[in-house]
Amino acid sequence: MMNLTPEERAFQQEVRDFIRENLPADIRYKVDNDLLLKKHDHVRWQKILQDNKRWYGGSWPEVFGGLGWSLTKQYIFQQENALGGAPFIIPYGVTMVGPVLYTFGNDEQKARYLPDILDNSTWWCQGYSEPGAGSDLASLRCSARREGDEYVINGTKMWTTQAQYADMMHILVRTDDSGKKQQGITFLLLDMKSPGVSVSPIITIDGLHHTNQTFFDEVRVPVANRVGEEGDGWKIARFLLNHERTSIADTGAKSRAVEKIKRRLQQSSTEMFSEREKMLFEVRLAELESQLSGLAAMEQRVIAGDQAGTLKGYEPSALKVRASELLQDISVLITDMNGSHKLAYDVARVDQGNLIKHPTPAQLASGGSYLYLYGRCVSIYGGANEVQRNIIAKFALA
Amino acid sequence: MSSLTEDDRRLIEDSLRKFVEDNYAFDERERRQKHNGKFGTHWHTFAELGWLALPFGEEAGGLGGGLEEAQLMMKHFGRGLIEEPYLEVAVMAGKVLEQLGSELFMLLIAGESQVILAHRERASIHSLEDCATSAVADGDSFILNGSKTAVSQAGAADYLLVSALLDAEPAIFQVPVDHPSLRVCEFPTIDSRYAADIELDSVVLGQDALLARGHKAADALRHGVLFTLAALLGELSGIADELVVQTSEFLQTREQFGSKLFQFQALQHKLADMIIGAEEIKSLAWLVCGVITNEDLKTREKVIRSAKARAAVIVRKMAETAVQLHGGMGVSDEMVVSHYLRRVVAVDAFYGDSQSHYSWLSSQYASGDLMQ
């Protein structure tokens, strides 16, 4: 297990205490019951973190308003945030475009956008995938042609999660299609209120509205909103992927799920499961917990390797595959434990997430069904697991 | 905890790697097995190189190493499929004896005596120190009755460390393997080695045969078993790495349907899963090094049992995949991957297979303790 310094240990305790004392009960209720978190839930929690402790931007360098956390401290925060039942941090602003801006942006861009990310007054979304460019991102075709001091965007983006809430989008566009497909991609910052932008909901397998298709019809973006040079888009996209390394496995949330299953088993009566069923679930849980322990050890070694600069490059892909498959397996156990109510899925209940004093078995089971259905996404987004396996194999076969 | 440095470990690893390459060529395996006497051909070299004393504290007469070094030795012995009973003698019996401060320990690390722990019994291992073999005091002597099951490499031993219940407390006795009331039934194992079922039929021993009793014996047994399970992750890690190397080489060499095998994506993805597995095993090996000195004994036991169970499941799957990807060659006795698979099955069975550890781990949920 990771050896923490006394200072890191104290920090861990501080985060734990803070979450226990400051996480609003209605938000904790949604997390505990696997119900949908809305934008206002995330914003409220992220503001609490930032206003009281500046922890929302803790990973940013101090000069940009962060706390300059080490990877270990970032890891501790992420773990404790999840273990304490708090919402996960929405990455599009603080984890993605923020680091891009302070790494590649010019002074004006930094001054204009960074403070608004930290205080949650600007909500960002990400425009990367397209109907014909999913895991094969470099095939993207959404185009931007230069006209004077502006780019004019035409095309469409898929899976623009939270675009319905967003003020801004960071978008990859094609500015040149004469060379290799990785060349000619440019990174722009786009105001979602620009004329010609339309957002069309995509209802996912869980019956909920997380994500969208966004259309661009002659949308004008000032050249001043370009990050880096024209054609730097691929480089920036790769930087972003590397930046997600430490958060990819998200074992804190999985540990919390496992603890919840344990509690359910301990509190179960013979009306819920027979002794034999209970033993079966306990053995399945033991297997999953041993996988989680392996995943957490991998995660910690990847963080240490990242800090020491000794990673070979395929390790984050390995984490992604194991983490997503484990989450899916955990969700299957959770739903199996719902027994005859495993079929229940009250989508309105999941969507509204109101506190109910005496939930029916069907309402209780709906959270598990949501977890199961949404869980199908995690082995697809961020580069499908099959693409991750291609990447991993390439390292051994090079 | 190890008092050796990274540099020490690197030096040891270099000589270890070279020794295994020079002396344990895979294609000479059969000849080696024929010539191996009771002590194995290289046992005295192991002693001279200090390997038998490596994973033990200096105060006990060892070289100051710990679990990291035991894993390192096992990693290379695993890669080389080395038959000498290093795990059983140096790691397991050694760890038990080190804690007891027995004279036998000095003989063991000097390579002069091969001692093997005969602890496991048929009624699988729920609690690590449990046994049903009985010891009864009778004047100046003790009489032992019971049976020990699947004692790996027992045929190599000159002394057995036998666990037994003495006045309802665990105790450890040293028993010469040629004791007339001891019946050692050797059988060949799936990894081309030997194990034995041992019957103790009124084995009469003197006072000096009792090495420890009560808490001291229980602690030595529990820690000895856990340390050994943790060291086995080194062997599994060595095998896992080698499975990846062998399989990627094969895929890059072999041609079918006019293409090198590695060009088929279905095969690449299976190889990728093997690489992920190897990464996870390394991580589990690292994890147990961090908990072996954890003062919370329950956590120590849970983490190590869970890691051993998980690692055995993964490496077995990896070895099965390696055999599959080698096609017809994979199931031939000539290919090393088929021997890795056979070894991994035996490693899984050693002191609680994955199913029995999962069964124990699941029984812990009922007792109500949750993670911190």
Which residues of chain B neighbour A265 with C-beta distances below 8 Å?
365-366
User: Measuring CA to CA, which residue among B282, B298, B301, B193 is closest to residue B233?
Assistant: B282
CB contact under 8 A, A286 and B358: yes
* Mean pLDDT, rounded, of chain A: 94
The partner residue sitting opposite B269, judged by closest CB among A258, A297, A393, is A393
Q: Which residues numbered 129-168 in A keep a CB inside 8 Å of some CB on B?
A: none
Q: Cβ of B232 under 8 Å from any chain A Cβ?
A: no
* Tokens found for residue A394: 């390439």
Cα–Cα distance, B285 to B235 (Å, whole number): 10
CB contact under 8 A, A293 and B252: no
Burial of A91 (0-12, 13-18, 19+ CB in 10 A): middle
Which residues of chain B neighbour A262 with C-beta distances below 8 Å?
365, 370
Q: E-strand spans in chain B? A: 115-118, 134-138, 141-152, 159-166, 169-176, 182-188, 194-206, 210-213, 255-256, 259-260
Indicate the SS3 state at residue B110. Answer: coil
A167 Cβ contact partners less than 8 Å away, ≥ 6 residues apart: A122, A123, A124, A191, A192, A193
Which residues of chain B neighbour A396 with C-beta distances below 8 Å?
244, 248, 271, 275
Which residues of chain A neighbour B318 with C-beta distances below 8 Å?
none
Which of A13, A248, A282, A290 is the mutation pick for testing B, counting most B CBs within 10 A?
A290
DSSP letter assigned to residue B369: P
Distance from CA of A22 to the nearest CA of B (A): 20
Q: B206 and B200 in contact (C-beta within 8 Å)? A: no
Q: Between chain A and chain B, how many beta carbons pairs sit less than 8 Å apart?
A: 113
Q: B311 and B347 in contact (C-beta within 8 Å)? A: no
User: Measuring CA to CA, which residue among A32, A140, A120 is closest to residue A83?
Assistant: A32
CB contact under 8 A, A396 and B358: no
Q: Cβ of A280 under 8 Å from any chain B Cβ?
A: no
**Which residues of A are annotated as catalytic?**
244
Closest chain A residue by Cα to residue B372: A259
* pLDDT surpasses 60 at B124: no
Indicate the SS3 state at residue A77. Answer: helix
Q: Cβ of A285 under 8 Å from any chain B Cβ?
A: yes
Interface ipTM above 0.95? no
The partner residue sitting opposite A396, judged by closest CB among B271, B291, B306, is B271
User: What is the structure's pLDDT at B368?
Assistant: 59
Mean pLDDT over A336-361 rounds to: 94
Cα–Cα distance, B161 to B102 (Å, whole number): 11
Higher per-residue pLDDT: B24 or B78: B78
Q: Please report the DSSP string for A45-58 in residue order.
A: HHHHHHHHH--TTT
Q: Cβ of B358 under 8 Å from any chain A Cβ?
A: yes
Q: Cβ of B280 under 8 Å from any chain A Cβ?
A: yes
In which band, very low, low, confident or very high, does the pLDDT at B2 lie, cut at 50, 70 and 90? confident
Q: E-strand spans in chain A? A: 124-127, 143-147, 150-157, 168-174, 185-191, 197-203, 209-222, 226-227
User: What is the structure's pLDDT at B30?
Assistant: 74
Q: B281 and B314 in contact (C-beta within 8 Å)? A: yes
Which residues of chain B neighbour A285 with C-beta distances below 8 Å?
362, 365
Q: Which residues numbered 85-104 in B keep a CB inside 8 Å of some CB on A?
A: none
Count Cα atoms within 13 angstroms, Cβ side, for A20. 6
Question: B344-353: per-residue pLDDT in tens?
Answer: 999 999 999 9
> What pTM does this model have?
0.93
B50 Cβ contact partners less than 8 Å away, ≥ 6 residues apart: B63
Q: B60 and B98 in contact (C-beta within 8 Å)? A: yes
CB contact under 8 A, A293 and B303: yes
* Tokens found for residue B62: 């060892």
Place of tokens 């006072």: B207
Place of tokens 């002794």: A275
Cα–Cα distance, A355 to A358 (Å, whole number): 9
User: What is the structure's pLDDT at B371?
Assistant: 45
The dihedral of CA B178, B182, B185, B190: what is its sign? negative
* Tokens found for residue B5: 């440095």
Which residues of chain B neighbour A266 with C-beta distances below 8 Å?
365-366, 368
DSSP letter assigned to residue B119: -
Distance from CA of B179 to the nearest CA of A (A): 42
- Segment among A27-31, A324-328, B1-5 with least mean pLDDT: B1-5
CB contact under 8 A, B262 and A266: no
Q: A120 and A47 in contact (C-beta within 8 Å)? A: yes
B306-343: buried (b, 16+ CB within 10 Å) or exposed (e) per residue?
bbbbbbbbbbbebbbbbbebbeeebeeeebbbbbbbbb
Question: A164-212: per-residue pLDDT in tens?
Answer: 999 999 999 999 999 999 999 999 999 999 999 999 999 999 999 999 9
Strand partners, A144: A153
* pLDDT surpasses 80 at B361: yes
User: What is the structure's pLDDT at B40?
Assistant: 61
* Tokens found for residue A31: 């997390």
